[in-house]
Structure 1
Amino acid sequence: MLVFFGVTLAISTANATEAPAIAAAANIKFALDKIVSKFEQETGLSVRISYGSSGNFVSQIQHGAPFEMMLSADEFYIEQLHQAGYTQDAGVIYAIGRLALAAPKQSQMMLDEELIGLGQFITDGKLKRFAIANPEHAPYGERAQEVLKAKGLWDVIQPRLILGENASQAAQFTISGSTQGGIVPLSLVLAPQFMTLANYVVIPDHLYEPLYQRMALMPNASQTTTHFYQYIQSPQSQQILREFGFNLPNTASETVN
C-alpha cells in the first residue's frame, strides 16, 4: 500500500537536532516538500516539518510543543493561537485551498463536479465506503462536509464514511482501494503518485467556504524560521503553490485546467 502522508512530529530533514520545528497542514505536504528542498539548496539552511491536522497542532502548541511556525489549512486556527498569545502576530494568508472529488481508477463511480454520479452511486446501493478528513479537527474534512450537505448527500453518506485523521490520510484511503472515492485536497490529487492511481474532478469553489490557509511565526522563532517564513511568500514559492492547485490571495480567480 502506498504511504505518502506524514505523521505528526515526523522528521523530514536530516539535521533534525539542529533544524527548527515547523508544523504544517497535511494538505500542503507535496508543495511544501518542494519549497523546502529549494529553500535548503538556495540558503544552506534546514527546517524540520511535521505534517498533521491543523486542529491537533493547535492543541500541541498550547501544551508546549516547540514549534517555531505553523502553516494552517484554515486561518481560524492561526487566529485562535494569535488571540491566545501563541504567535508573534496575526500572520499572513499564504494560499487558498481547493477540493477535488477523487476515486481509484478501478472505481465504477462516475466523477462530475456537481456530484451527480456520487448521488446515483448511493441511490443504487453501490457505495460502500467514502473518505473525507475528520471534520472535527481537519479543515478539509469540514469543507468536504459542507459540499456533501450542499448537495443533499450528507445524511445518506454518513454511515459509509471513512474518516482520515488528516487530509493526507483521507487521500490515502481514497487511492488505496479501501474506499470507492473521497473528497480530498486538490493539492494532494495533483501529486504524480496520486494521479497514477486515481481519477479526479475539481469541485466548484462556490460549494464551500473559502479555505484561506494562514501561517504565523511563534514568539520563539529563530532567524532560520523567519527566513523560511519570508521564503514561502517569494515568487518562486508562489509558483510552486500554483502548480499544486492552490489559488493565491491576489490571484483567487485563477483556476487549474
Structure 2
Amino acid sequence: MFSTSLSVFTHGERFKSQCYAIAFTLVLGLLSVILPTHVAQAADTPAIAAAANIKFALDDIAKNFKQQTGLSVRISYGSSGNFITQIQHGAPFEMMLSADEFYIEQLHKAGYTQDAGVIYAIGRLALAAPKQSPLILDAELVGLEQFIRDGKLKRFAIANPDHAPYGERAREVLKAKGLWDAVQPKLIFGENASQAAQFTISGSTQGGIVPLSLVLAPQFTQLANHVVIPDNLYQPLNQRMALMPNASETATRFYQYMQSPQAQKVLSEFGFNLPKTTVKLD
C-alpha cells in the first residue's frame, strides 16, 4: 500500500506535536487523502494520482463522470513530487494529474507516460487566514508585512516547496514581496497543498498561502477568509496531466473527459484559469 506521509516541517519543536495531532484529525475528516488500499486495482476502476489542490473540483468531476458514463475511477490525493517517486517505484497509477508541468515532464522523459500529456487547468494562489485571526488580508500582502513588523506573526502555513508546486509558488510570492527571510522562521510546512490549507483553517496558524481552489470550497469559507494573490507575483501553475502506458479504456475516457467543457466548467467554478482548448465529447 502506498501512503502519504503526514510529517510536518516546522521551525519550532514546540509546535511539532500539536501540528501532527491537527494533521491526523483533519486528514481523516475535512480534506482526507484517499489512497488505494490494494496494490492491484480492478481494471475497470483505474487508480489515478492527483495533486491535492484539485480535490474538491476533481471529486465533483469524477461524480459527474460516473453519472454520465457509468464508469468509476479511484483517486489518490497528495503532492506531485511524492507521486512521481511512487510511480517510479511501481505504484499502479494509470493517470496522473500534476499541480504543474515539471513533474509530468520528468515522468515523460523517463518513459513513465504515454506522451507529454496536456494542460488541464491553470492554478491560482490565495492568502488566507482563520476568521478569528488578527491578520489583515490584502492582495499585495501589505497587511502581512505590517503584521511581521509589529512582531505579531507566530505561525504561517505553506505547502512544502521541496516537492509541492503550490509551496514553491508561495515561496516565490513571499520573495517577490521581500518577506521570505522574515516569514521563513515562522513557517509550518504542509506535506501537500491540502495539508497547508488544513493548518490555515484549523487555527494552528495565523494565516497561509494556499490554493484558491481549496479556499473556495464551502468547508473552507465557513472557517476562514481569503483574498486572491495576483498572478504576476509567481510563475504560472500550468497543471498538466498524462496517461501511463498501462492506462485502461476507463482511464483514457476519464482523461478525455477532463478536457471536456463539462469538466472545465467545474474547474472554473473552483477558481482555476483554463487552457485555451477543450475536447468535445461524442
TM-score (norm 2): 0.85
Identity of aligned residues (%): 80
Q: Tell me, what secondary structure is at the counterpart of 1:144?
A: helix
Q: Which amino acid aligns with 2:253?
A: H
Distance 1:100 1:74, change over 3 A: same
Structure 1 residue 146 displacement after superposition: 0.1
Q: Which amino acid aligns with 1:135?
A: P
Q: State yes or no: 1:90 paired with 2:116.
A: yes
Q: State yes or no: 1:236 paired with 2:258.
A: no
CA–CA distance in structure 1, aligned partners of residues 168 and 32 of structure 2: 20
CA–CA distance in structure 2, aligned partners of residues 45 and 97 of structure 1: 27
Structure 1 residue 197 displacement after superposition: 0.5
2:242 — aligned with what? 216
- Aligned residue pair count: 247
1:128 — aligned with what? 154
Structure 1 residue 140 displacement after superposition: 0.0
Structure 2 contact 101–240 (Cα < 8 Å) conserved:
yes
2:4 — aligned with what? none
CA–CA distance in structure 2, aligned partners of residues 143 and 5 of structure 1: 21
CA displacement 1:201-230 (0-9 Å, x = unmatched): 000000000000000000000000000000
Structure 1 contact 6–50 (Cα < 8 Å) conserved:
no
2:3 — aligned with what? none
Which of 93, 104, 109 matches 1:78?
Answer: 104
2:169 — aligned with what? 143
Q: Tell me, what secondary structure is at the counterpart of 2:93?
A: coil
Structure 1 contact 4–168 (Cα < 8 Å) conserved:
no
Q: Tell me, what secondary structure is at the counterpart of 2:262?
A: helix
Structure 2 contact 114–243 (Cα < 8 Å) conserved:
yes
Structure 1 residue 5 displacement after superposition: 2.3
Which of 54, 59, 63 matches 1:37?
Answer: 63
Q: Tell me, what secondary structure is at the counterpart of 2:255?
A: helix
Which of 74, 82, 93 matches 1:67?
Answer: 93
CA–CA distance in structure 2, aligned partners of residues 23 and 6 of structure 1: 14
**What runs of 5+ residues in structure 2 fail to find an aligned partner?**
1-24, 278-282
CA–CA distance in structure 1, aligned partners of residues 239 and 203 of structure 2: 29
Runs of 4+ in 1 over 4 A off after TM superposition: none
Q: State yes or no: 1:196 paired with 2:222.
A: yes
Structure 1 residue 4 displacement after superposition: 2.4
Distance 1:149 1:105, change over 3 A: same
1:110 — aligned with what? 136
Q: Tell me, what secondary structure is at the counterpart of 2:127?
A: strand
CA displacement 1:5-60 (0-9 Å, x = unmatched): 2336256xxxx755110000000000000000000111111100000000000000
Which of 207, 214, 217 matches 2:233?
Answer: 207
CA–CA distance in structure 2, aligned partners of residues 4 and 33 of structure 1: 13
Which of 80, 101, 117 matches 1:54?
Answer: 80
Q: State yes or no: 1:176 paired with 2:196.
A: no
TM-score (norm 1): 0.94
